[in-house]
Structure 1
Amino acid sequence: MIGLGGAASAGDVPQIRYLDRPSGVMVQTEAATQDTAFAIASVGKTMTAVASLRRVDRGRLGLEDKAAAWIAPDIVQGFGGLNGITLRHLLTMTSGIPDYYTEDYLEDALDDPDRIQRADIALSYAFGEPQLFEPGTDFDYSNTNYVLLGLILEAETGKSYAGAMQQEVFAPAGMTNSFVFGSRPLPIGFADVPDEVRRYYQGAGFGDGGVIATAADVAQFYRTLFIDQTLLPSDLLAALTTDPLGVGYGMGIELDAATIGHSGGDLGFTSDVRLHRPTGTLAIELVADEDAETGWTEDQMPN
């Protein structure tokens, strides 16, 4: 492993760039180390999708299951019945459910995290909003889909979302420094961020972006899933990477020809992962800055 970064200077934003290609692994850091944990935001949607598909593989969930059958009645009612919406629709962002993650939600979560940072309360920020389209007919990137998937995992496994992720993703993938925020204290190696950001990540994380991880663990997940192909059987891996509407999105994964991955952004953090499947070239960028540019990952992909 080759370190490309020098000593960090005062005022640097914590950041790590991790590049794994046939010639070796290169890591560049600023105000961070390879053990620094970051909130990876929507990069974790791929992990939620994998956990869901592993339960499908066991026959405990079905892609055509009605979401309403697994969701608490008050939430179902808040969304007008979730009529016709299946797990497949949630996974592929084709449900038409509006997004709960608004400025109002974030402001309230910062003001009163103990009350607001609960999945059922968070979802209520989208209650009563009109459905955007009939399920399966269009695509809209709505975080609500993946909060609901986290609740479905809880209902089916009998575990918390954090426990389900540990069982279905972190442990089988060998991710030793990953967890859902709110399920344990923030590690000493958590990226240096302002106090209000730290308080937010001491609250509960949801299925849409609740994972804290190191770059090495994110790399381990991608290798295990797409290169070793030991997390999912071939048919479900194919389902994960199938774009049903030609919009560049599968099940919690962004698709662009031979390159796949996911971007993410949440309070205080930006993240991006790109994998060139033919060569196995993997680029990961994690930054403790919600306004950071992450085009570096795409620049590392072979032409």
Structure 2
Amino acid sequence: MFRQRRALRGALTLAAAAGVMVSALTGTGAAQARGAAPGAADQARLSGLLHRLTTVDGGPGTLLHLRDRRGDTVLTSGVADVDSNAPVPRDSRFRIGSMTKPFVATVVLQLAGEHRVSLDAPVERYLPGVVRGEGNDGRTITVRQLLQHTSGIPDYLTYLDKQEVLNNPLAHHDARDLVNIALAHPPTFAPGTDWHYSNTNYLLAGMLIEKVTGNTWNQEVRRRIITPLGLHDTSAPGDSTTIPEPHPRGYVRPGQNAPLLDLTAFNPSVAGPSGAMISSGGDVDRFLDALVNGRLLHPAQLREMMRTRPTGDSDGRAYGLGLESRPLPCGGLYWGHGGDIFGFETVGGATVGGSQATVMVNLDPGGTDAQSDDMKTAVQAALCQSRSTASR
């Protein structure tokens, strides 16, 4: 749940997917309606990757949204509802899990650009007395270290009773209580000496936003990002347990070979600013485009966001301030994030000055170990395909 999964172990051989077309896959969108869709071979490769997600990997349904200079292309595979076998809506909304983090980091960096937050100031300046216990100390941890996961603060999800969340999915969770779950345990390492993904960092970032602005992180994300960009499918809910229509059902497989559990109705306060948001493929792509191309941050703050450090993953993943980079198999880097939350997994990526791609599967947790890897491969394939087509 809301975790960053293990690194990509190796790209699928796209040639093996060439020519694979499945009746359950649908290609539509403005670009295709204008005859500007990917070529048949390109679309077959992407369709084959999506088909793998809903067969070999076990996901009920999946969606890929590609946005480039030609417009929008949408491909789907599988079903939105395992009972009705309804197809995945091409304009689906879904929970995006940790893809929320780039939104929250953007707000903090905007506040830094307004000289209301200093990235290298101690967290104690903004949240006095909050980060204490078992060796965790907000006087020695900076705002930058929160956003880059170099604080050493433990991840509350490691200690959260997830079965209790499954048993009571509509229950409210207070961010301070979740932070205190983490602070009851010693730091993972001394601040600034290593890298370890911790959702607690972004609970604290959300609390910092509220302390500095007087508004909740949800309100600031709406005011500063969602409304200016016209992201009509995107929301930062508090305790709302529903997803606006249209949307696929969100499923969990609670144990190996266990039947799917429908967890579409779920209170995202257990994730809060670390992973509570809802969006669509098109909106995630528009957000990433605006972010990496400098329409949300001043150049100085965007440079800070893109100052990465290696995570130690074998695929070259590096983490900035709420935004991560990976090498593309066709050369260069792409920027984005992934997200897991009960019912959904999302992966999104964008190239500077280029295209954007987002993939969603409506199963989490419970897919195969390869699900995350295959989603990243689909994003990479879409971005490389777009680059190749643009150069023709």
2:348 to 245, 257, 273: 273
Q: Provide the TM-score with structure 1 as the length reference.
A: 0.87
Aligned CA distance change for structure 1 residues 13 and 297 (closer, same or farther; 3 Å): same
Q: How many angstroms does 1:24 deviate by?
A: 3.7
Aligned to 2:264: 198
Q: Does the 8 A contact of 1:66 with 1:85 survive in 2?
A: yes
1:297 aligns with 2:344: no
What is the rounded CA distance, in whole Å, between the counterparts of 1:132 and 1:45 in structure 2? Answer: 21
Q: How many angstroms does 1:59 deviate by?
A: 1.5
What is the rounded CA distance, in whole Å, between the counterparts of 2:181 and 2:140 in structure 1? Answer: 21
> 5 Å matches for 1:1-303?
1=30, 2=32, 13-30=60-77, 31-71=87-127, 73=129, 76-77=132-133, 80-102=136-158, 104-113=160-169, 117-182=173-238, 184=240, 185-193=242-250, 197-201=263-267, 203=269, 205-227=271-293, 229-244=294-309, 248-257=318-327, 258-277=333-352, 280-290=354-364, 291=367, 292=371, 293-294=374-375, 295-302=377-384
Q: Does the 8 A contact of 2:67 with 2:282 survive in 1?
A: no
What amino acid does structure 2 have at the position aligned with 1:235? Answer: A
Q: Does the 8 A contact of 2:234 with 2:283 survive in 1?
A: yes
What is the rounded CA distance, in whole Å, between the counterparts of 1:203 and 1:84 in structure 2? Answer: 28
What is the rounded CA distance, in whole Å, between the counterparts of 2:171 and 2:64 in structure 1? Answer: 35
Q: Deviations 1:78-109 (Å, cap 9, x if unpaired)?
A: 77332310110001111011111137432222
Secondary structure, counterpart of 1:180 in structure 2 = coil
What is the rounded CA distance, in whole Å, between the counterparts of 2:130 and 2:167 in structure 1? Answer: 25
What amino acid does structure 2 have at the position aligned with 1:233? Answer: H
Q: Does the 8 A contact of 1:105 with 1:122 survive in 2?
A: no
Q: How many angstroms does 1:114 deviate by?
A: 6.0
Q: How many angstroms does 1:177 deviate by?
A: 1.7
Structure 2 residue ranges without an equivalent (≥5): 1-29, 34-42, 48-53, 78-86, 252-260, 313-317, 328-332
What amino acid does structure 2 have at the position aligned with 1:176? Answer: H
Q: Deviations 1:209-266 (Å, cap 9, x if unpaired)?
A: 1110011111110121223x22100111111111145751101111124211111212
Secondary structure, counterpart of 2:265 in structure 1 = helix
What is the rounded CA distance, in whole Å, between the counterparts of 2:357 and 2:180 in structure 1? Answer: 36
Aligned CA distance change for structure 1 residues 108 and 124 (closer, same or farther; 3 Å): farther
* RMSD over equivalenced CA pairs, Å: 2.8
Q: Provide the TM-score with structure 2 as the length reference.
A: 0.69
What amino acid does structure 2 have at the position aligned with 1:287? Answer: V
What is the rounded CA distance, in whole Å, between the counterparts of 2:130 and 2:288 in structure 1? Answer: 36
Aligned CA distance change for structure 1 residues 116 and 78 (closer, same or farther; 3 Å): farther
What is the rounded CA distance, in whole Å, between the counterparts of 1:24 and 1:124 in structure 2? Answer: 46
What is the rounded CA distance, in whole Å, between the counterparts of 1:76 and 1:154 in structure 2? Answer: 19
Secondary structure, counterpart of 2:272 in structure 1 = coil
Q: How many angstroms does 1:269 deviate by?
A: 0.9
Aligned CA distance change for structure 1 residues 100 and 13 (closer, same or farther; 3 Å): same
Secondary structure, counterpart of 1:126 in structure 2 = helix
Q: Please identify the structure whose Cα radius of gyration is greater.
A: 2
